[in-house]
Structure 1
Amino acid sequence: MERVEQLFNALWQDYTQRLCPSAGQVHDLLEEGEPLLNDHIALRTFNLPQVGLDRLAAPFIAIGYKPCGKYHFEAKKLYAEHFEHPNPLAPKVFISELMVGQFSSLLQQTVRDLVNQVPEEAMHDPAFLYGGRLWELDYATYELLSAESEYAGWLAAHGFGANHFTVSINQLEQFTEIQEVNHLLRHNGFVINESGGEVKGSPEVMLEQSSTMADRVPVNFTDGVREVPGGFYEFAKRYPTADGELYRGFVEASADKIFESTNQ
Protein backbone atom coordinates (compact mmCIF):
# COMPACT_ATOMS: atom_id res chain seq x y z
CA MET A 1 0.00 0.00 0.00
CA GLU A 2 2.98 2.30 0.46
CA ARG A 3 3.29 2.98 -3.29
CA VAL A 4 -0.45 3.60 -3.47
CA GLU A 5 -0.25 6.12 -0.62
CA GLN A 6 2.74 7.90 -2.17
CA LEU A 7 0.95 8.34 -5.49
CA PHE A 8 -2.29 9.56 -3.92
CA ASN A 9 -0.42 11.93 -1.59
CA ALA A 10 1.25 13.51 -4.63
CA LEU A 11 -2.10 13.74 -6.46
CA TRP A 12 -3.67 15.29 -3.33
CA GLN A 13 -0.91 17.93 -3.02
CA ASP A 14 -1.40 18.99 -6.65
CA TYR A 15 -5.21 18.94 -6.33
CA THR A 16 -5.29 21.09 -3.18
CA GLN A 17 -2.61 23.55 -4.28
CA ARG A 18 -3.44 24.03 -7.96
CA LEU A 19 -6.94 22.80 -8.75
CA CYS A 20 -9.11 22.93 -5.64
CA PRO A 21 -7.69 25.07 -2.81
CA SER A 22 -11.04 24.95 -0.97
CA ALA A 23 -10.61 21.19 -0.41
CA GLY A 24 -8.78 21.94 2.84
CA GLN A 25 -11.84 23.78 4.20
CA VAL A 26 -14.07 20.82 3.30
CA HIS A 27 -11.69 18.57 5.20
CA ASP A 28 -11.81 20.80 8.25
CA LEU A 29 -15.62 20.72 8.20
CA LEU A 30 -15.96 16.95 7.88
CA GLU A 31 -12.91 15.44 9.58
CA GLU A 32 -13.75 13.72 12.87
CA GLY A 33 -10.35 12.89 14.30
CA GLU A 34 -9.82 10.17 11.70
CA PRO A 35 -8.48 10.93 8.21
CA LEU A 36 -11.30 11.13 5.66
CA LEU A 37 -11.68 8.01 3.54
CA ASN A 38 -11.26 8.84 -0.15
CA ASP A 39 -13.80 6.87 -2.21
CA HIS A 40 -12.27 7.69 -5.60
CA ILE A 41 -10.46 10.25 -7.72
CA ALA A 42 -11.18 11.17 -11.33
CA LEU A 43 -8.74 11.99 -14.12
CA ARG A 44 -9.42 13.40 -17.58
CA THR A 45 -7.61 12.99 -20.88
CA PHE A 46 -7.98 12.94 -24.68
CA ASN A 47 -8.33 9.61 -26.56
CA LEU A 48 -5.18 10.24 -28.61
CA PRO A 49 -2.41 7.60 -28.58
CA GLN A 50 0.18 9.81 -26.83
CA VAL A 51 -2.08 10.57 -23.84
CA GLY A 52 -5.01 8.11 -24.00
CA LEU A 53 -6.78 6.41 -21.11
CA ASP A 54 -4.34 3.47 -21.20
CA ARG A 55 -1.39 5.81 -20.60
CA LEU A 56 -3.06 7.25 -17.49
CA ALA A 57 -4.05 3.80 -16.24
CA ALA A 58 -0.55 2.32 -16.58
CA PRO A 59 0.97 3.81 -13.38
CA PHE A 60 -2.05 2.57 -11.38
CA ILE A 61 -1.89 -0.92 -12.91
CA ALA A 62 1.82 -1.00 -12.01
CA ILE A 63 0.87 -0.71 -8.32
CA GLY A 64 -1.83 -3.36 -8.39
CA TYR A 65 -4.96 -1.71 -9.81
CA LYS A 66 -7.26 -3.66 -12.14
CA PRO A 67 -9.91 -2.44 -14.65
CA CYS A 68 -13.41 -3.07 -13.27
CA GLY A 69 -16.00 -1.13 -15.27
CA LYS A 70 -16.58 0.64 -18.60
CA TYR A 71 -18.85 3.65 -19.18
CA HIS A 72 -20.11 5.58 -22.20
CA PHE A 73 -21.35 9.18 -22.12
CA GLU A 74 -22.91 9.68 -25.54
CA ALA A 75 -23.96 13.33 -25.19
CA LYS A 76 -20.58 14.48 -23.84
CA LYS A 77 -18.68 12.16 -26.24
CA LEU A 78 -16.70 10.57 -23.43
CA TYR A 79 -15.55 7.04 -22.66
CA ALA A 80 -14.45 6.03 -19.16
CA GLU A 81 -13.18 3.10 -17.13
CA HIS A 82 -12.78 2.62 -13.40
CA PHE A 83 -10.00 0.75 -11.64
CA GLU A 84 -9.83 -0.90 -8.23
CA HIS A 85 -7.00 -2.07 -5.97
CA PRO A 86 -7.13 -5.45 -4.15
CA ASN A 87 -7.00 -3.49 -0.89
CA PRO A 88 -10.60 -2.23 -0.46
CA LEU A 89 -9.38 0.81 1.49
CA ALA A 90 -7.40 2.08 -1.53
CA PRO A 91 -9.34 4.72 -3.50
CA LYS A 92 -10.96 3.71 -6.76
CA VAL A 93 -9.73 5.51 -9.89
CA PHE A 94 -12.12 6.82 -12.57
CA ILE A 95 -10.41 7.78 -15.85
CA SER A 96 -12.33 9.37 -18.71
CA GLU A 97 -11.20 10.38 -22.19
CA LEU A 98 -12.70 12.74 -24.77
CA MET A 99 -13.56 11.02 -28.06
CA VAL A 100 -11.75 13.68 -30.08
CA GLY A 101 -12.70 12.20 -33.47
CA GLN A 102 -16.41 12.86 -32.83
CA PHE A 103 -15.91 16.65 -32.74
CA SER A 104 -15.45 19.33 -35.39
CA SER A 105 -12.30 19.27 -37.50
CA LEU A 106 -11.30 22.54 -35.80
CA LEU A 107 -11.42 21.03 -32.31
CA GLN A 108 -9.68 17.86 -33.52
CA GLN A 109 -6.80 19.80 -35.07
CA THR A 110 -6.50 22.16 -32.09
CA VAL A 111 -6.31 19.28 -29.61
CA ARG A 112 -3.83 17.36 -31.77
CA ASP A 113 -1.61 20.46 -31.90
CA LEU A 114 -1.63 20.62 -28.10
CA VAL A 115 -0.96 16.92 -27.56
CA ASN A 116 1.84 16.92 -30.16
CA GLN A 117 3.77 19.22 -27.79
CA VAL A 118 3.91 16.51 -25.08
CA PRO A 119 7.42 15.04 -24.76
CA GLU A 120 7.18 11.24 -25.04
CA GLU A 121 9.54 10.74 -22.09
CA ALA A 122 7.20 12.75 -19.84
CA MET A 123 4.54 10.06 -20.20
CA HIS A 124 6.89 7.36 -18.86
CA ASP A 125 7.22 9.00 -15.46
CA PRO A 126 4.12 8.47 -13.25
CA ALA A 127 4.58 12.06 -12.04
CA PHE A 128 2.86 13.25 -15.24
CA LEU A 129 -0.44 12.24 -13.56
CA TYR A 130 -0.16 15.33 -11.35
CA GLY A 131 2.12 17.33 -13.64
CA GLY A 132 -0.44 19.76 -14.99
CA ARG A 133 -0.32 21.08 -18.53
CA LEU A 134 2.37 19.75 -20.86
CA TRP A 135 1.60 22.18 -23.71
CA GLU A 136 1.42 25.91 -24.41
CA LEU A 137 -2.08 27.42 -24.58
CA ASP A 138 -3.47 30.92 -25.08
CA TYR A 139 -6.78 32.10 -23.64
CA ALA A 140 -8.53 32.39 -27.02
CA THR A 141 -7.81 28.71 -27.76
CA TYR A 142 -9.18 27.78 -24.34
CA GLU A 143 -12.38 29.71 -25.11
CA LEU A 144 -12.64 28.13 -28.57
CA LEU A 145 -12.39 24.60 -27.14
CA SER A 146 -14.73 25.36 -24.22
CA ALA A 147 -17.41 26.62 -26.61
CA GLU A 148 -17.60 23.19 -28.26
CA SER A 149 -16.77 20.99 -25.24
CA GLU A 150 -16.48 22.24 -21.66
CA TYR A 151 -14.40 19.11 -20.94
CA ALA A 152 -11.95 19.89 -23.77
CA GLY A 153 -11.47 23.45 -22.52
CA TRP A 154 -10.92 22.32 -18.94
CA LEU A 155 -8.39 19.67 -19.92
CA ALA A 156 -6.56 22.02 -22.29
CA ALA A 157 -6.24 24.63 -19.52
CA HIS A 158 -5.21 22.38 -16.63
CA GLY A 159 -3.59 19.34 -18.18
CA PHE A 160 -3.13 16.33 -15.91
CA GLY A 161 -4.29 16.15 -12.31
CA ALA A 162 -7.21 14.90 -10.24
CA ASN A 163 -10.27 17.00 -11.05
CA HIS A 164 -11.84 15.68 -7.86
CA PHE A 165 -11.33 13.64 -4.74
CA THR A 166 -14.38 12.08 -3.07
CA VAL A 167 -15.31 11.84 0.59
CA SER A 168 -16.85 8.48 1.53
CA ILE A 169 -19.98 9.34 3.53
CA ASN A 170 -20.21 5.72 4.74
CA GLN A 171 -17.24 6.32 7.01
CA LEU A 172 -18.56 9.49 8.70
CA GLU A 173 -20.24 9.26 12.10
CA GLN A 174 -21.94 12.65 12.46
CA PHE A 175 -23.49 12.48 8.97
CA THR A 176 -25.30 9.54 7.41
CA GLU A 177 -27.06 11.35 4.54
CA ILE A 178 -25.59 13.32 1.65
CA GLN A 179 -28.26 16.03 2.13
CA GLU A 180 -26.82 16.70 5.61
CA VAL A 181 -23.34 17.19 4.16
CA ASN A 182 -24.70 19.47 1.43
CA HIS A 183 -26.54 21.53 4.05
CA LEU A 184 -23.34 21.97 6.10
CA LEU A 185 -21.36 22.97 3.00
CA ARG A 186 -24.00 25.47 1.87
CA HIS A 187 -24.06 26.95 5.38
CA ASN A 188 -20.31 27.50 5.00
CA GLY A 189 -20.56 29.25 1.65
CA PHE A 190 -20.03 26.40 -0.80
CA VAL A 191 -22.11 26.11 -3.97
CA ILE A 192 -23.52 22.62 -4.65
CA ASN A 193 -23.82 21.21 -8.18
CA GLU A 194 -27.58 20.99 -8.82
CA SER A 195 -27.42 19.59 -12.36
CA GLY A 196 -29.69 16.53 -12.37
CA GLY A 197 -30.67 17.28 -8.77
CA GLU A 198 -28.65 18.10 -5.68
CA VAL A 199 -28.21 14.38 -4.93
CA LYS A 200 -27.48 12.20 -7.96
CA GLY A 201 -28.44 8.52 -7.80
CA SER A 202 -30.54 6.70 -5.20
CA PRO A 203 -30.50 3.68 -2.89
CA GLU A 204 -32.07 1.71 -5.78
CA VAL A 205 -28.92 2.16 -7.93
CA MET A 206 -26.84 1.63 -4.75
CA LEU A 207 -24.92 4.90 -5.06
CA GLU A 208 -25.73 8.50 -4.13
CA GLN A 209 -23.38 11.35 -5.03
CA SER A 210 -23.15 15.12 -4.75
CA SER A 211 -20.40 17.65 -5.37
CA THR A 212 -19.39 21.25 -4.91
CA MET A 213 -19.07 23.46 -7.97
CA ALA A 214 -15.44 23.86 -9.01
CA ASP A 215 -13.19 26.49 -7.47
CA ARG A 216 -12.19 29.29 -9.81
CA VAL A 217 -8.39 29.16 -9.98
CA PRO A 218 -5.69 31.18 -11.74
CA VAL A 219 -4.20 29.58 -14.86
CA ASN A 220 -1.10 30.78 -16.69
CA PHE A 221 -2.03 31.14 -20.35
CA THR A 222 0.65 32.28 -22.80
CA ASP A 223 -1.06 35.69 -22.95
CA GLY A 224 -1.59 36.21 -19.22
CA VAL A 225 -3.20 34.77 -16.11
CA ARG A 226 -6.97 34.18 -16.11
CA GLU A 227 -9.30 32.59 -13.56
CA VAL A 228 -11.18 29.54 -14.83
CA PRO A 229 -13.03 26.62 -13.16
CA GLY A 230 -10.60 24.15 -11.55
CA GLY A 231 -11.31 21.13 -9.35
CA PHE A 232 -14.24 20.30 -7.09
CA TYR A 233 -15.00 17.99 -4.17
CA GLU A 234 -17.38 15.04 -4.41
CA PHE A 235 -19.29 13.07 -1.74
CA ALA A 236 -20.42 9.48 -2.19
CA LYS A 237 -22.67 7.15 -0.21
CA ARG A 238 -22.63 3.50 -1.25
CA TYR A 239 -25.31 0.92 -0.46
CA PRO A 240 -24.86 -2.82 0.13
CA THR A 241 -25.55 -5.24 -2.72
CA ALA A 242 -27.34 -8.59 -2.28
CA ASP A 243 -24.17 -10.20 -0.86
CA GLY A 244 -23.90 -7.51 1.83
CA GLU A 245 -20.81 -5.84 0.34
CA LEU A 246 -20.97 -2.15 -0.57
CA TYR A 247 -21.55 -1.49 -4.29
CA ARG A 248 -18.21 -0.62 -5.90
CA GLY A 249 -19.14 0.61 -9.37
CA PHE A 250 -20.35 3.89 -10.83
CA VAL A 251 -23.69 5.01 -12.28
CA GLU A 252 -23.46 6.58 -15.75
CA ALA A 253 -26.48 8.88 -15.34
CA SER A 254 -25.05 10.29 -12.11
CA ALA A 255 -21.45 10.58 -13.32
CA ASP A 256 -22.75 12.43 -16.38
CA LYS A 257 -24.04 15.23 -14.11
CA ILE A 258 -20.97 15.20 -11.83
CA PHE A 259 -18.88 16.15 -14.90
CA GLU A 260 -20.84 19.41 -14.96
CA SER A 261 -19.29 20.53 -11.65
CA THR A 262 -16.60 22.24 -13.75
CA ASN A 263 -19.07 24.14 -15.97
CA GLN A 264 -18.66 27.93 -16.08
Structure 2
Amino acid sequence: MLDLWVLVALGGVGIVAGFVDAVAGGGGLIALPALMSVGLSPVAALATNKAQSVVGTFAAAITFWRGGYVVLRTLIPGIIMTFVGSYAGALVVKAIDTSALSVAVPVAIVAVALYFSFSPSIKDVDRIAKLKFAIFVPVIGFIIGFYDGIFGPGTGSFFMLAFVALFGLSATRASAHTKVLNVTSNLAALALFIPAGDVVWSAAAAMAIGQIIGGYLGALTGIRFGAKIIRPLVIVVSIALAIRLIIFS
Protein backbone atom coordinates (compact mmCIF):
# COMPACT_ATOMS: atom_id res chain seq x y z
CA MET A 1 0.00 0.00 0.00
CA LEU A 2 1.47 3.33 -1.05
CA ASP A 3 1.67 6.24 1.41
CA LEU A 4 -0.77 9.14 0.95
CA TRP A 5 2.01 11.64 0.23
CA VAL A 6 3.53 9.28 -2.32
CA LEU A 7 0.18 9.19 -4.09
CA VAL A 8 -0.03 13.00 -3.98
CA ALA A 9 3.45 13.21 -5.51
CA LEU A 10 2.47 10.73 -8.21
CA GLY A 11 -0.56 12.89 -8.96
CA GLY A 12 1.81 15.81 -9.57
CA VAL A 13 3.94 13.65 -11.83
CA GLY A 14 0.76 12.73 -13.70
CA ILE A 15 0.04 16.41 -14.45
CA VAL A 16 3.49 16.93 -15.98
CA ALA A 17 3.46 13.62 -17.86
CA GLY A 18 -0.05 14.27 -19.18
CA PHE A 19 0.91 17.73 -20.43
CA VAL A 20 4.01 16.49 -22.27
CA ASP A 21 2.17 13.47 -23.65
CA ALA A 22 -0.71 15.58 -24.98
CA VAL A 23 1.58 17.93 -26.87
CA ALA A 24 4.32 15.64 -28.17
CA GLY A 25 3.99 12.13 -26.70
CA GLY A 26 6.59 10.53 -24.45
CA GLY A 27 4.88 11.07 -21.11
CA GLY A 28 6.08 7.62 -20.11
CA LEU A 29 9.59 9.08 -19.91
CA ILE A 30 8.38 10.91 -16.82
CA ALA A 31 5.81 8.48 -15.43
CA LEU A 32 7.67 5.16 -15.65
CA PRO A 33 10.76 6.18 -13.65
CA ALA A 34 8.48 7.78 -11.05
CA LEU A 35 6.48 4.57 -10.65
CA MET A 36 9.60 2.42 -10.36
CA SER A 37 11.11 4.87 -7.85
CA VAL A 38 8.26 4.19 -5.41
CA GLY A 39 8.92 0.46 -5.46
CA LEU A 40 6.83 -0.96 -8.31
CA SER A 41 8.29 -3.84 -10.29
CA PRO A 42 9.01 -3.21 -14.00
CA VAL A 43 5.90 -5.14 -15.08
CA ALA A 44 3.67 -3.42 -12.52
CA ALA A 45 5.13 -0.02 -13.46
CA LEU A 46 4.50 -0.66 -17.15
CA ALA A 47 0.93 -1.83 -16.54
CA THR A 48 0.17 1.02 -14.13
CA ASN A 49 1.66 3.52 -16.56
CA LYS A 50 -0.66 2.27 -19.31
CA ALA A 51 -3.66 2.52 -16.96
CA GLN A 52 -2.93 6.09 -15.86
CA SER A 53 -1.68 7.42 -19.20
CA VAL A 54 -4.72 6.22 -21.13
CA VAL A 55 -6.83 8.61 -19.03
CA GLY A 56 -4.73 11.65 -19.89
CA THR A 57 -4.41 10.65 -23.53
CA PHE A 58 -8.18 10.20 -23.71
CA ALA A 59 -8.69 13.68 -22.19
CA ALA A 60 -6.31 15.13 -24.77
CA ALA A 61 -7.98 13.23 -27.62
CA ILE A 62 -11.43 14.49 -26.58
CA THR A 63 -10.13 18.06 -26.37
CA PHE A 64 -8.63 17.85 -29.86
CA TRP A 65 -11.83 16.22 -31.17
CA ARG A 66 -14.02 18.96 -29.68
CA GLY A 67 -11.71 21.49 -31.32
CA GLY A 68 -12.37 19.91 -34.71
CA TYR A 69 -8.83 18.61 -35.26
CA VAL A 70 -9.84 14.98 -35.79
CA VAL A 71 -12.86 13.35 -37.47
CA LEU A 72 -13.37 10.05 -35.69
CA ARG A 73 -15.34 8.32 -38.45
CA THR A 74 -12.35 8.60 -40.81
CA LEU A 75 -10.17 6.91 -38.17
CA ILE A 76 -12.42 3.92 -37.36
CA PRO A 77 -10.48 1.46 -39.58
CA GLY A 78 -7.22 2.77 -38.13
CA ILE A 79 -8.55 2.45 -34.59
CA ILE A 80 -9.58 -1.16 -35.19
CA MET A 81 -6.27 -2.16 -36.77
CA THR A 82 -4.23 -0.36 -34.11
CA PHE A 83 -6.08 -2.30 -31.41
CA VAL A 84 -5.56 -5.59 -33.25
CA GLY A 85 -1.87 -4.85 -33.81
CA SER A 86 -1.20 -3.83 -30.21
CA TYR A 87 -3.05 -6.82 -28.78
CA ALA A 88 -1.22 -9.18 -31.14
CA GLY A 89 2.13 -7.64 -30.18
CA ALA A 90 1.39 -8.04 -26.48
CA LEU A 91 0.47 -11.68 -27.04
CA VAL A 92 3.66 -12.63 -28.89
CA VAL A 93 6.14 -10.54 -26.90
CA LYS A 94 7.12 -13.46 -24.68
CA ALA A 95 7.76 -15.74 -27.63
CA ILE A 96 10.34 -13.60 -29.47
CA ASP A 97 13.67 -11.97 -28.74
CA THR A 98 13.21 -8.19 -28.60
CA SER A 99 16.82 -7.35 -27.67
CA ALA A 100 17.55 -6.02 -31.16
CA LEU A 101 14.86 -3.38 -30.63
CA SER A 102 16.90 -1.78 -27.85
CA VAL A 103 19.47 -0.88 -30.50
CA ALA A 104 17.24 -0.18 -33.50
CA VAL A 105 14.58 1.91 -31.75
CA PRO A 106 16.89 4.68 -30.44
CA VAL A 107 18.27 5.09 -33.98
CA ALA A 108 14.74 5.37 -35.36
CA ILE A 109 13.70 7.86 -32.69
CA VAL A 110 16.75 10.04 -33.39
CA ALA A 111 15.70 9.94 -37.06
CA VAL A 112 12.28 11.24 -36.00
CA ALA A 113 13.95 14.08 -34.07
CA LEU A 114 16.10 14.97 -37.09
CA TYR A 115 13.07 15.00 -39.37
CA PHE A 116 11.17 17.36 -37.05
CA SER A 117 14.33 19.49 -36.70
CA PHE A 118 15.09 20.05 -40.37
CA SER A 119 11.97 19.32 -42.41
CA PRO A 120 10.33 22.49 -43.76
CA SER A 121 6.97 20.69 -43.87
CA ILE A 122 6.27 20.82 -40.11
CA LYS A 123 3.73 23.62 -40.19
CA ASP A 124 0.20 24.45 -39.07
CA VAL A 125 -1.33 23.76 -42.49
CA ASP A 126 -2.11 20.44 -44.15
CA ARG A 127 -0.10 19.37 -47.19
CA ILE A 128 -0.75 16.91 -50.00
CA ALA A 129 -0.62 13.37 -48.65
CA LYS A 130 1.92 10.91 -50.04
CA LEU A 131 -0.32 7.94 -49.20
CA LYS A 132 -4.10 7.50 -49.32
CA PHE A 133 -5.42 8.09 -45.79
CA ALA A 134 -8.28 5.56 -45.86
CA ILE A 135 -6.06 2.72 -47.11
CA PHE A 136 -2.77 3.23 -45.34
CA VAL A 137 -3.71 4.62 -41.90
CA PRO A 138 -5.04 1.16 -40.88
CA VAL A 139 -1.78 -0.40 -42.15
CA ILE A 140 0.37 2.08 -40.24
CA GLY A 141 -1.89 1.68 -37.21
CA PHE A 142 -1.40 -2.09 -37.18
CA ILE A 143 2.38 -1.84 -37.59
CA ILE A 144 2.94 0.81 -34.91
CA GLY A 145 0.30 -0.80 -32.66
CA PHE A 146 2.14 -4.13 -32.96
CA TYR A 147 5.39 -2.39 -32.03
CA ASP A 148 3.67 -0.77 -29.03
CA GLY A 149 2.48 -4.17 -27.84
CA ILE A 150 5.97 -5.64 -28.12
CA PHE A 151 8.19 -2.78 -26.95
CA GLY A 152 6.43 0.59 -26.67
CA PRO A 153 8.86 3.52 -26.30
CA GLY A 154 8.51 6.08 -29.07
CA THR A 155 5.05 5.00 -30.21
CA GLY A 156 3.72 8.56 -30.15
CA SER A 157 6.76 9.85 -32.04
CA PHE A 158 6.29 7.25 -34.77
CA PHE A 159 2.58 8.07 -35.12
CA MET A 160 3.42 11.79 -35.32
CA LEU A 161 6.01 11.16 -38.03
CA ALA A 162 3.58 9.04 -40.06
CA PHE A 163 0.75 11.57 -39.93
CA VAL A 164 3.03 14.48 -40.86
CA ALA A 165 5.39 12.87 -43.39
CA LEU A 166 3.07 10.35 -45.05
CA PHE A 167 -0.42 11.83 -44.68
CA GLY A 168 0.42 15.55 -44.86
CA LEU A 169 -1.34 16.60 -41.66
CA SER A 170 -0.47 19.82 -39.87
CA ALA A 171 1.44 19.49 -36.59
CA THR A 172 -1.71 20.07 -34.52
CA ARG A 173 -3.88 17.66 -36.50
CA ALA A 174 -1.12 15.05 -36.45
CA SER A 175 -0.93 15.35 -32.66
CA ALA A 176 -4.73 14.97 -32.43
CA HIS A 177 -4.78 11.82 -34.57
CA THR A 178 -1.81 10.42 -32.64
CA LYS A 179 -3.68 10.76 -29.35
CA VAL A 180 -6.68 8.78 -30.65
CA LEU A 181 -4.51 5.87 -31.82
CA ASN A 182 -2.39 6.02 -28.66
CA VAL A 183 -5.53 5.56 -26.57
CA THR A 184 -6.39 2.56 -28.71
CA SER A 185 -3.00 0.85 -28.37
CA ASN A 186 -2.96 1.45 -24.60
CA LEU A 187 -6.43 -0.08 -24.20
CA ALA A 188 -5.32 -3.16 -26.10
CA ALA A 189 -2.38 -3.64 -23.73
CA LEU A 190 -4.63 -3.10 -20.71
CA ALA A 191 -6.92 -5.86 -21.98
CA LEU A 192 -4.04 -8.17 -21.02
CA PHE A 193 -2.56 -6.34 -18.03
CA ILE A 194 -5.79 -5.90 -16.07
CA PRO A 195 -6.90 -9.58 -16.01
CA ALA A 196 -3.35 -10.52 -15.00
CA GLY A 197 -3.60 -8.23 -11.95
CA ASP A 198 -0.52 -6.20 -12.91
CA VAL A 199 -2.02 -2.74 -12.37
CA VAL A 200 -1.44 -1.01 -9.00
CA TRP A 201 -4.75 0.80 -8.89
CA SER A 202 -4.00 3.29 -6.08
CA ALA A 203 -1.04 4.67 -8.03
CA ALA A 204 -2.95 4.54 -11.31
CA ALA A 205 -5.89 6.47 -9.83
CA ALA A 206 -3.68 9.18 -8.29
CA MET A 207 -1.77 9.70 -11.52
CA ALA A 208 -4.94 9.53 -13.62
CA ILE A 209 -6.32 12.59 -11.80
CA GLY A 210 -3.15 14.47 -12.68
CA GLN A 211 -3.27 13.09 -16.24
CA ILE A 212 -6.75 14.53 -16.80
CA ILE A 213 -5.51 17.99 -15.82
CA GLY A 214 -2.23 17.71 -17.73
CA GLY A 215 -3.80 16.13 -20.81
CA TYR A 216 -6.45 18.83 -21.04
CA LEU A 217 -3.97 21.68 -20.56
CA GLY A 218 -1.48 20.10 -22.97
CA ALA A 219 -4.09 19.70 -25.69
CA LEU A 220 -5.21 23.32 -25.25
CA THR A 221 -1.58 24.43 -25.48
CA GLY A 222 -1.04 22.39 -28.64
CA ILE A 223 -4.18 23.91 -30.19
CA ARG A 224 -3.17 27.43 -29.14
CA PHE A 225 0.46 27.40 -30.27
CA GLY A 226 0.49 24.63 -32.89
CA ALA A 227 3.81 23.79 -34.56
CA LYS A 228 5.65 26.44 -32.54
CA ILE A 229 5.44 24.25 -29.42
CA ILE A 230 4.70 20.80 -30.88
CA ARG A 231 7.79 20.74 -33.12
CA PRO A 232 10.44 21.57 -30.46
CA LEU A 233 8.79 19.39 -27.82
CA VAL A 234 8.71 16.38 -30.17
CA ILE A 235 12.42 16.92 -30.84
CA VAL A 236 13.32 17.21 -27.15
CA VAL A 237 11.19 14.23 -26.11
CA SER A 238 12.53 12.05 -28.95
CA ILE A 239 16.16 12.78 -28.10
CA ALA A 240 15.56 12.28 -24.38
CA LEU A 241 13.82 8.96 -25.06
CA ALA A 242 16.65 7.78 -27.34
CA ILE A 243 19.26 8.64 -24.71
CA ARG A 244 17.26 6.86 -21.99
CA LEU A 245 16.94 3.72 -24.13
CA ILE A 246 20.66 3.69 -24.93
CA ILE A 247 21.76 4.20 -21.31
CA PHE A 248 19.32 1.76 -19.71
CA SER A 249 19.16 -0.92 -22.45
More helix by share: 2
- The structure number with the bigger radius of gyration is 1
Q: Which has the higher strand share?
A: 1
